[in-house]
Chains A and B, each alone.
Chain A
Amino acid sequence: MKPSFEPGGKLSAFQSVFDGFETFLFVPNTTSKTGTHIHDSIDSKRVMSMVVLALIPALLFGMYNVGYQHYLAIGTLPSVSFGEIFGFGFLAVLPKVIVSYLVGLGIEFVVAQWKHEEIQEGYLVSGMLIPLILPVECPLWIMSIAIAFAVIFAKEVFGGTGRNIFNVALITRAFLFFAYPSQMSGDGVWVKTGSVFGIGEGQLVDGFSGATPLGQLMTTSSGTAHLTGITGNALSTSDMLIGLIPGSIGETSVIAIALGAILLLATGIASWKIMASVFVGGSLTALMFNAIGTSPSMLLPWYEHMLLGGFAFGAVFMATDPVTSARTENGKYIFGLLLGFMAVVIRVLNPGYPEGMMLAILLLNLFAPLIDYVVVQKNITRRLNRAKVTNDKK
């Protein structure tokens, strides 16, 4: 079967697709031709699989939360079972995941075949990230346009996996945010109020407000904001930790994100330096704003900044993307600190963007090469000085 896919064979136009499925099923058994004769068993597929695995807790919780917020909004939460809640969310979120992979991988297959290269695994992760950073009411066709834009213009034109400057999932979100703002922000997009495949019909309760906690900060005129859930009940810090609050599908539960973070850190795939620096930078900046305290945004306690919005999700899954973040070890600290700083600054000082994390990450993606350049220059200067010292001694 394989020879018909080789160049010259009948199905050679589909060689990349065939290779993709073959390497999905089997570890490639080509042997080394130059250099080392043995290789570590790690490969790009394994790394990407681990990241997708780390996203599963956030995905599963996100599905449950979509169902939870829905039944809470129509007032029938006490009378539905766990299975119904999860099933509703599952049916609401699954189409997004499927369409994300179909569109993204479809484009990647075509481009890989056109370049006569293997299909690379970068989109396996982006494809899972994209649904998790979108509000549940985002229409599928808009998401597809944004994915096509991001995969082609933010990834493939640069050369594909490993060569992009900006985080592909965030470019998708940024495209959506700026091109279709009414579908991406405001009070109406974070909770699935309608039914899904005919399940979950109901009327919204009185006093329903679909605003996320960060959105509520925007509308508070002065003093400390009193953040509430969708039915008006006050939110405590533990509510923010557990995540049964409105928001993008995967970003609400810090505990689910933390489970993913533990897997990523234990396998060494994500850099603890970046994760820690982002939280430290964000906390210090939020503390500074708490001290200044002249607007409701500034008065939001610093630890709640870490728990609300996309801060934790971005810090764990997107700031740590090795391709788009700083690559030198010392650069990672600077990268993370600046990222945390910018995320909180954008959130607090600009009322138009309650979500500063996305923009902060994209901005730091742009600066990562510069940060690395500075670190590398120090190394180069050290070498030059060493040569100078030796020459002076002669």
Chain B
Amino acid sequence: MCSMANLIRIGKGLDIKLKGKAIETLSQVGHSDLCALTVSDFHGLTPKVIARPGDKVKAGSVLLCDKNRQEVKFVSPVSGTVVAVNRGDKRKVLDVLVKADSANEFESFAKIDLSKASGEEVKTLLLNAGMWPFIKQRPYDLIANPQEAPKAIFISTFDTAPLAADFEFVLKGQEADFQTALNALAHIAPVHLGVHENAQSSALKNASNVTIHTFAGKHPTGNVGVQIHHVSPINKGEIVWVVNPQDLIIMGRLFNKGVTDFSRIVALTGSEVVKTGYVKIQAGSLITPLFKSNVTKGKALRYISGNVLTGTQVTPESYLNFYANQLTVIPEGTEKHEMFGWIMPRLNQFSINHSYFSWLLPKKEYVLDARIKGGQRALIMSNELDKVFPFDIFPEILLKAIITNNIDQMEALGIYEVAPEDFALCEFVDTSKTEIQKIVREGLDMLFKEMN
């Protein structure tokens, strides 16, 4: 198939330079005794438990399925025994814990010939092997509905978030699996690949069966939502599916080998990590060994699964998130008592506002902690959010429509095109410290309920 390259420059945005970028070394983590499939990793999921405590499972055996769409299955990444199905308030399922054994058995799935397969066959294989949750959709930023047909599938092959993992490093040695997944998805809908202007890997620049779009610009250029907006914006009634590039590699393994291998490479990043780097780790494993003797002592720390803008807070005793590409550790900051912040020069602080001085040193890397650094206010400053929101959408006005639950206005202003992660930088720069991503997430959830 032909692959056109066209350069799209994204004008708005902000690159936040932090200390603690992952050094390009790859290490292995020993097999974790316990693996967990955590329900909260999948927003909007109401699970139906299939496996019972005590069941023997293989890698690829079904543990849960989506109650509302039973063909969407969630499988065990390892072979072993189901130890527990943990529940919380009102018997809500929290996670399924599997104790790994040394047998390493795999469920086998019928291999399909990708040169002759239909879209339905590809979908069925992905659903049965528990790989469907890797496919998410816009609008609503939820796991894709396999019964709806998307107009396209978009993949962003580079991540511009602070300290993000370099996908080309992760891709090394796995290019064949990556291309296989592209070939598979191309049977379902046209696939669009977003490639960075400075990409080196030919598996990206010359990928086949896809349309390649080249992008240049500051964060959030790497966000797939930004790329969709600049190539084929989503209108009301249209659906686009998105997949994270490392998840494509995992899918490709399924098509090439016929078994599930959910192991992934995660970047350890952040100013409080002693030795940063890339780690190969099985999905759902305990992340404790990654941080043992590897974080600064003596102060409160914030552990984040993901990046500092969109990640979720975890502890060293947490299990790896299903979609994790990065783990970040920064100082919590609760012990700091800065005086007279409203007038001091605060030379070690980062701000895009010119009443501070960080704009004079664009290459400096910062140690930022988790303090909000201000009280929550009504939206006062205008044109603040717009500067870091590269969409033809008014972020502040859309935000106000979401807050007031005005569905017609939300639709008119473009809510179908956005996900909370697109507003992360808006939340970072906001003088009024509004909980923007939370508001957008709740707005999308409310809209989904109304429309379905």
Contact yes or no, B337 A32, CB < 8 A? no
Contact for B339 among A25, A38, A379, CB less than 8 A: A25
Contact yes or no, B311 A37, CB < 8 A? yes
Contact for A38 among B16, B236, B336, B436, CB less than 8 A: B16
Q: How far is the CA of A32 from the CA of B438 in the complex (A)?
A: 12
Contact yes or no, A35 B438, CB < 8 A? yes
Contact yes or no, B370 A37, CB < 8 A? yes
Contact yes or no, A162 B379, CB < 8 A? yes
- B:382-422 near A, CB below 8 Å: 382-383, 386, 392-394, 396-397, 412-414, 420
Residue A224 CB within 8 A of the other chain? no
Q: Nearest residue in B to A122 (C-beta to C-beta)?
A: B380
Q: How far is the CA of A218 from the CA of B349 in the complex (A)?
A: 54
Residue B341 CB within 8 A of the other chain? yes
Contact yes or no, B383 A42, CB < 8 A? no
Q: Nearest residue in B to A388 (C-beta to C-beta)?
A: B235
Contact for A46 among B237, B355, B414, B433, CB less than 8 A: B355
Interface string of A363-394 (1 = CB under 8 A from B): 00000000010001001101110110011000
Contact yes or no, A31 B334, CB < 8 A? yes
Contact for A37 among B238, B302, B337, CB less than 8 A: B302
Contact yes or no, B380 A266, CB < 8 A? no
Residue B377 CB within 8 A of the other chain? yes
Residue B332 CB within 8 A of the other chain? yes
Contact for B383 among A159, A266, A271, CB less than 8 A: A271
Contact yes or no, A35 B369, CB < 8 A? no
Contact yes or no, A38 B353, CB < 8 A? no
Q: Given A29-B371, A36-B427, A44 and B380 touching (CB < 8 A)?
A: yes
Contact partners of B373 in chain A: CB under 8 A:
27-28, 39-41, 43
Q: Given A29-B334, A35-B435, A271-B382, A42 and B355 touching (CB < 8 A)?
A: yes
Q: Nearest residue in B to A30 (C-beta to C-beta)?
A: B372
Give the shortest distance, in Å, between A188 (CB) and chain B (any CB): 39
Contact yes or no, A35 B437, CB < 8 A? yes
Residue B330 CB within 8 A of the other chain? yes
Residue B451 CB within 8 A of the other chain? no
Contact for A47 among B380, B427, B435, CB less than 8 A: B380
Interface string of A1-45 (1 = CB under 8 A from B): 000000000000000000000011111111110111111111111
Residue B356 CB within 8 A of the other chain? yes
Q: How far is the CA of A48 from the CA of B343 in the complex (A)?
A: 10
Residue A267 CB within 8 A of the other chain? yes
Residue A120 CB within 8 A of the other chain? yes
Residue B333 CB within 8 A of the other chain? yes
Q: How far is the CA of A315 from the CA of B349 in the complex (A)?
A: 32
Q: How far is the CA of A30 from the CA of B382 in the complex (A)?
A: 25
Contact partners of A43 in chain B: CB under 8 A:
341-342, 373-375, 431, 433
Do most interface residues of chain B lie in helix, strand or loop, or is the interface mixed?
A: loop
Q: Given A47-B381, A390-B235, A39 and B428 touching (CB < 8 A)?
A: yes
Contact partners of A267 in chain B: CB under 8 A:
353-355
Do most interface residues of chain A lie in helix, strand or loop, or is the interface mixed?
A: loop
Q: Nearest residue in B to A118 (C-beta to C-beta)?
A: B375
Give the shortest distance, in Å, between B436 (CB) and chain A (any CB): 6
Q: How far is the CA of A102 from the CA of B379 in the complex (A)?
A: 26
Q: How far is the CA of A383 from the CA of B412 in the complex (A)?
A: 7
Contact partners of A37 in chain B: CB under 8 A:
302, 304, 308-309, 311, 313, 328, 330, 370
Give the shortest distance, in Å, between B379 (CB) and chain A (any CB): 6
Contact yes or no, A34 B375, CB < 8 A? no
Give the shortest distance, in Å, between A374 (CB) and chain B (any CB): 13
Q: How far is the CA of A27 from the CA of B338 in the complex (A)?
A: 5
Give the shortest distance, in Å, between A269 (CB) and chain B (any CB): 7
Contact yes or no, A163 B350, CB < 8 A? no
Which of A208-216, A245-253, A320-328 contacts its partner? A320-328
- A:283-339 near B, CB below 8 Å: 322-323, 325, 327-329
Contact partners of B412 in chain A: CB under 8 A:
380, 383-384
Q: How far is the CA of A49 from the CA of B341 in the complex (A)?
A: 10
Contact yes or no, A38 B343, CB < 8 A? no
Q: How far is the CA of A271 from the CA of B386 in the complex (A)?
A: 14
Q: How far is the CA of A36 from the CA of B311 in the complex (A)?
A: 7
Give the shortest distance, in Å, between B360 (CB) and chain A (any CB): 12
Contact yes or no, B309 A34, CB < 8 A? no
Q: How far is the CA of A34 from the CA of B427 in the complex (A)?
A: 10
Residue B346 CB within 8 A of the other chain? yes
Q: How far is the CA of A30 from the CA of B333 in the complex (A)?
A: 8
Contact partners of B379 in chain A: CB under 8 A:
162
Contact partners of B429 in chain A: CB under 8 A:
40, 42
Q: Given A46-B355, A161-B378, A328-B394, A26 and B235 touching (CB < 8 A)?
A: no
- A:330-352 near B, CB below 8 Å: none
Give the shortest distance, in Å, between B195 (CB) and chain A (any CB): 25
**Could you list 26 examples of A-B contacts with CB < 8 Å?**
A27-B337, A28-B375, A35-B435, A36-B437, A37-B302, A38-B16, A39-B372, A41-B346, A42-B351, A42-B352, A42-B374, A43-B341, A43-B374, A45-B341, A48-B342, A120-B377, A267-B355, A322-B380, A322-B382, A328-B397, A329-B383, A376-B413, A380-B413, A383-B235, A383-B414, A390-B235
* A residues apposed to B, CB below 8 Å: 23-32, 34-50, 118, 120, 122, 159-163, 266-269, 271, 322-323, 325, 327-329, 372, 376, 379-380, 382-384, 386-387, 390-391
Beyond contacts A40-B373, A45-B342, A45-B374: 13 other A-B pairs, Cβ-Cβ < 8 A, are: A28-B371, A28-B373, A29-B336, A31-B333, A34-B437, A37-B330, A39-B433, A41-B341, A41-B350, A43-B373, A46-B355, A327-B383, A387-B235
The 6 closest A-B pairs by CB, nearest first: A43-B374, A162-B378, A27-B341, A387-B235, A35-B437, A45-B342
